[in-house]
Amino acid sequence: MKLLTGKTALITGVANDYSIAWAIARALHAQGAELAFTYQNERLKEKMGALVQQFKPKLLTELDVTKDEDIARVGRQVLDTYGRLDIFLHSLAFTPKEDLHGDFYKTSRQGFAVSNDISSYSLIALSNALLPAFEAAGGGSILYMTYIGGEYAISTYRLAGVSKAALEMSGKYLAQALGPKNIRVNGISAGPIKTLAARGIKNFSDLQKRAAEFMPLQGEITADDVAGTAVYLASDLSSAVTGEVIHVDKGFHCVRG
């Protein structure tokens, strides 16, 4: 018996086959989960849609998390299509380039609002919209992607790190609020991995090289490393784990040189 047989998962954040969300989707499916997907807009639909068709999803739907009506619609679609939801992967983040690369003390009010709206508030709003589908399943597992820049000030991460800190605290409060409904909420803090989002971080290659110098476990971190942890958190193996942030970074978070 596979770990996730009979379970349904909603995946957000697949942009291409380098996405961490894509590696997680493949791993969940390999363990028996049925997958549903969202895409950001029509411009990205064609490429992303072609990528996920191998899973024959019953639901592939647009989601703009800045629109309450989109969030509510996706919640209804999941329940109407599958009758339940067991796993939700939140892999969504955005920070305006000028606020990501500029001096932090020059962060704009609008940039701060947009970054936190998309990167952290969306976890709360989507969890609420998906609640009826989770309740129909008798509970489930919510996973979100974060980064160590939400714990420590990293010069190239700036406002994105502030939004990750808000995301992680949102995850903890959601774990407290949803625990009585048998819904677990956990984060995965991935080390530096080459993705489309990572390319938007200034001097990412240098950051990756510096991190490698301090990692207790040697070798490049891959999206598949993260996916294995996601399977654990999505499955009943982690039935007593909630409110956690698990670092998948070859130990980088625990050393300082």
Catalytic sites, residue numbers = 147, 157
Give the residue carrying structure tokens 């899973």.
55
Say which amino acid occupies 27: A
**What is the distance between the alpha carbons of residues 24 and 33, in angstroms, rounded to a whole number?**
11
**What is the distance between the alpha carbons of residues 144 and 167, in angstroms, rounded to a whole number?**
8
CB atoms within 10 A of CB 229: 20
**What is the distance between the alpha carbons of residues 212 and 221, in angstroms, rounded to a whole number?**
9
Phi, psi of 155 (to 5 degrees): -60, -30
Q: Give the SS3 label for residue 79.
A: helix
Q: How many Cα neighbours within 13 Å face the side chain of 56?
A: 0
Q: DSSP strand E in the chain: where?
A: 8-11, 34-39, 60-62, 87-90, 140-146, 183-190, 245-248
Total residues belonging to the chain: 257
H or E segment to which residue 131 belongs: helix 131-137
User: 245 has which bridge partners?
Assistant: 187
